[in-house]
């Protein structure tokens, strides 16, 4: 499975994409998929970001093993670095534009998200511009 362009697809053996869904085609702000991870139960999680950095236009999607794609969070801007703890009960997720790292409880059996808290606040925008790229050093 891969997050690419405006959606989630299966990558076939011959290198072609079989789209499961292209949810970012249906958003008000032109957006693309940005970063993703698999959880210990085999679900794929991928975030999106708006091309123009529109605040709150990014989302987080979960793709279940049966191929169902669901938007599970919205109101983010540049979704980066999703990661799980070892047993899959906690999701860490950065919003680079906001300079925050979120921590969410996850039901490992269903993938449903529970309680939320800000795990860390970083300096404004993490030195990233609205495109999510860091300036050269």
What is the DSSP secondary-structure string of the chain? -EEETTEEEEE-TTS-EEEEE-GGGGSSS-EEEEEEEE-TTS-EEEEEEETT--TT-EEEEEE-TTS-EEEEEEEESSEEEEEE-TTS-EEEEEETTTTEEEEEEE-TTT--EEEEEEEEE-SGGGG--TTSPPPP-
Q: Residue 125: its pLDDT value, please?
A: 47
Q: Residue 82: its pLDDT value, please?
A: 96
Regions of the chain with pLDDT less than 70 = 124-137
Q: Residue 45: its pLDDT value, please?
A: 97
Q: Residue 122: its pLDDT value, please?
A: 85
């Amino acid at each position: 499975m891969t997050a690419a362009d405006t959606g989630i697809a299966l990558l076939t053996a011959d290198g072609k994409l079989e789209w499961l869904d292209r949810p970012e085609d249906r958003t008000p702000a032109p957006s693309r998929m940005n970063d993703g991870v698999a959880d210990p139960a085999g679900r794929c999680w991928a975030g999106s970001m708006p091309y123009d950095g529109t605040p709150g236009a990014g989302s987080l999607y979960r793709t279940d093993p049966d191929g169902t794609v669901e938007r599970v969070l919205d109101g983010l801007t540049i979704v980066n670095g999703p990661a799980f703890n070892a047993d899959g009960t906690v999701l860490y997720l950065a919003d680079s534009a906001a300079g925050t790292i979120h921590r969410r409880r996850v039901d490992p059996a269903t993938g449903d998200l529970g309680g939320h808290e800000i795990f860390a606040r970083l300096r404004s925008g993490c030195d990233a511009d609205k495109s999510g790229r860091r300036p050269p050093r």
